[in-house]
């Protein structure tokens, strides 16, 4: 019933129910000045998170030597991808001239430690928890270098960390937690890839597998963790810490843009396209970017046609009270990282007036984009992550976006625009899986 009512009123929902690719333009979008004072999180929270990551840098550098070049900060390159831009131009016949702006790839696909965007939120939350335990138990005093924490793995082994995951969050939480010394249990949904489970087990992480989807894995993990006073649960559906860990990305990006002499202002709009699962990663990054660039940045999410939970949550205004199955969808998708049927309540609330729109993409295109990126730039990212390209393509394609550009008074500025496709995972995918993905061709239905 829910679905019928909305299907008639909202064209994007009609498209969703008919499994057509679409874009939903956020009609509740507001200028950021009006929104920010009403949000449950503030700029100060991001600053605090950013400082926390800096405090931990000596520890990270010591335990993960791969981060040495960046002084223990976990950060990824921002790369201009002209070859891919050209390829995308050939792929879509109806490109508009504003696709001529700069196209960059933000390579969180290659973040140290976890090889996905989850290295931001997941690691941040575990470090924050560790900091709290360390001070509470007097392992450290104020002013100590956090390097010292590397000596306490035995202490931390008395404590457990648990998390529900479709794969990448489990990898991120599992790897950092095991390194610190915690006992770790990752509750994996049916969508999780085998190699992710094996990699975790090789690090001593306990992996529990579930028949059900992401929501079921999270619920099981939460319940088990709540029964154990020594266990801490990373709650992807509600966690403010995860969200803030992601938001720090924006400060780092601001620096990278300035080093590359890319202006973001009234004459130079910035468009950002991010794949969306439960919403934490794209929501957190968007929150950070809006805090810095206000209305000069335009943030879009991309979801699979079979699993657009955030689109449904925001377009209906019902947030976490709706799931994709309510609209006749299976939730099954090749985009394992985005296979989440119900949006996060925190993120739905935070993004209600902030995200500019949400695109959907069919699974077959993920592999097409993956091949195009490999062939044009010799960069490999995982299929889920490739969803982001659909945002850039869709911007030049949908009449609703043309309208958006006009209403935002950007029509004459699109040649100065910068587009960032946010690559969210890929570095840890084993060679043989990469090969298989690159050979996968799905029907375009």
Residues at the site binding ligand PLP, with contacts judged by CB under 6 A: 116-118, 168, 275-282, 337-338, 340, 382, 384-385, 424-425
Of 101 and 282, which CB lies nearer to ligand PLP in the complex structure?
282
**Closest by CA position to 393, among listed 95, 115, 109:** 95
Per-state percent for the chain, helix, strand, coil, to nearest 5: 55, 15, 30
Residues shown for the chain: 445
As measured in angstroms, the least distance from the Cβ of 165 to ligand PLP is 8
As measured in angstroms, the least distance from the Cβ of 422 to ligand PLP is 8
As measured in angstroms, the least distance from the Cβ of 381 to ligand PLP is 8
Of 303 and 368, which CB lies nearer to ligand PLP in the complex structure?
303
Of 57 and 81, which CB lies nearer to ligand PLP in the complex structure?
81
Of 129 and 196, which CB lies nearer to ligand PLP in the complex structure?
196
For the purposes of burial, counting CB atoms within 10 Å of the CB of 216, is it exposed (0-12), middle (13-18) or buried (19 or more)? middle
Of 131 and 191, which CB lies nearer to ligand PLP in the complex structure?
191
Characterize the bridge pairing of strands 160-165 and 102-107: unpaired
In the complex, residue closest to ligand PLP by CB: 277
- Note whether 168 and 191 are within 8 A (CB): no
The dihedrals phi and psi of 252, each to the nearest 5 degrees, come to -65, -40
As measured in angstroms, the least distance from the Cβ of 116 to ligand PLP is 5
Helix (H, G, I), strand (E, B) or coil at 263: coil
Of 118 and 252, which CB lies nearer to ligand PLP in the complex structure?
118
As measured in angstroms, the least distance from the Cβ of 42 to ligand PLP is 20
The neighbouring-strand residues paired with 358 are 24, 301
Q: Which helix (H) or strand (E) holds 160?
A: strand 160-165
Count, in order, helices (H) and strands (E) of the chain: 20, 11
As measured in angstroms, the least distance from the Cβ of 385 to ligand PLP is 5
As measured in angstroms, the least distance from the Cβ of 241 to ligand PLP is 13
Question: What radius of gyration do the chain's Cα atoms show?
Answer: 21
Of 61 and 108, which CB lies nearer to ligand PLP in the complex structure?
108
Show the tokens assigned to 427.
């570095």
| CA distance linking residue 291 with residue 205, whole number of Å | 37
């Amino acid at each position: 019933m829910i679905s019928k009512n909305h299907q008639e009123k909202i064209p994007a929902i009609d498209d969703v129910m008919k499994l057509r690719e679409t874009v939903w333009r956020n009609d509740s979008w507001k200028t950021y000045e009006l929104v920010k004072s009403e949000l449950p999180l503030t700029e100060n929270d991001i600053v605090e998170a950013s400082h926390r990551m800096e405090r931990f840098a000596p520890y990270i550098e010591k335990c993960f030597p791969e981060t040495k070049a960046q002084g223990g900060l976990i950060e990824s390159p921002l790369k201009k991808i002209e070859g891919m831009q050209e390829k995308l131009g050939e792929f879509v016949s109806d490109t508009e001239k504003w696709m001529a702006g700069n196209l960059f790839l933000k390579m969180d696909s290659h973040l140290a430690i976890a090889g996905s965007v989850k290295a931001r939120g997941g690691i941040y939350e575990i470090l924050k928890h560790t900091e709290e335990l360390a001070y509470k138990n007097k392992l450290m005093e104020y002013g100590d270098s956090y390097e010292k924490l590397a000596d306490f793995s035995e202490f931390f082994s008395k404590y457990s960390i648990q998390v529900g995951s479709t794969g990448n969050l489990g990898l991120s939480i599992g790897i950092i937690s095991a390194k610190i010394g915690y006992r770790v249990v990752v509750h994996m949904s049916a969508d999780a890839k085998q190699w992710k489970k094996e990699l975790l087990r090789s690090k001593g992480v306990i992996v529990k597998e579930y028949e059900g989807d992401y929501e079921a894995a999270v619920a099981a993990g939460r319940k088990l963790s709540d029964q154990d006073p020594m266990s801490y649960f990373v709650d992807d559906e509600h966690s403010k810490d995860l969200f803030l860990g992601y938001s720090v990305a924006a400060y780092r990006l601001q620096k990278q843009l300035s080093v590359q002499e890319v202006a973001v202002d009234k004459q130079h709009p910035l468009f950002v396209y991010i794949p969306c699962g439960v919403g934490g990663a794209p929501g957190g990054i968007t929150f950070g970017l809006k805090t810095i660039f206000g209305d000069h940045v335009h943030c879009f999410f991309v979801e699979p046609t079979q699993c657009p939970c955030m689109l449904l949550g925001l377009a209906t205004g019902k947030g976490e009270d709706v799931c994709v199955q309510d609209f006749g969808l299976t939730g099954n998708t090749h985009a394992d990282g985005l296979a989440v049927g119900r949006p996060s309540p925190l993120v739905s609330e935070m993004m209600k007036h902030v995200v500019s729109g949400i695109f959907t993409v069919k699974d077959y295109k993920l592999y097409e984009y993956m091949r195009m990126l490999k062939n044009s730039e010799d960069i490999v990212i995982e299929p889920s992550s490739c969803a982001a390209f659909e945002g850039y393509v869709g911007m030049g394609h949908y009449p609703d976006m043309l309208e958006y550009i006009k209403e935002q008074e950007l029509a004459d500025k699109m040649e100065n625009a910068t587009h960032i496709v946010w690559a969210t995972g890929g570095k840890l995918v084993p060679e043989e899986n990469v090969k298989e993905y690159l050979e996968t061709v799905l029907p375009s239905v």
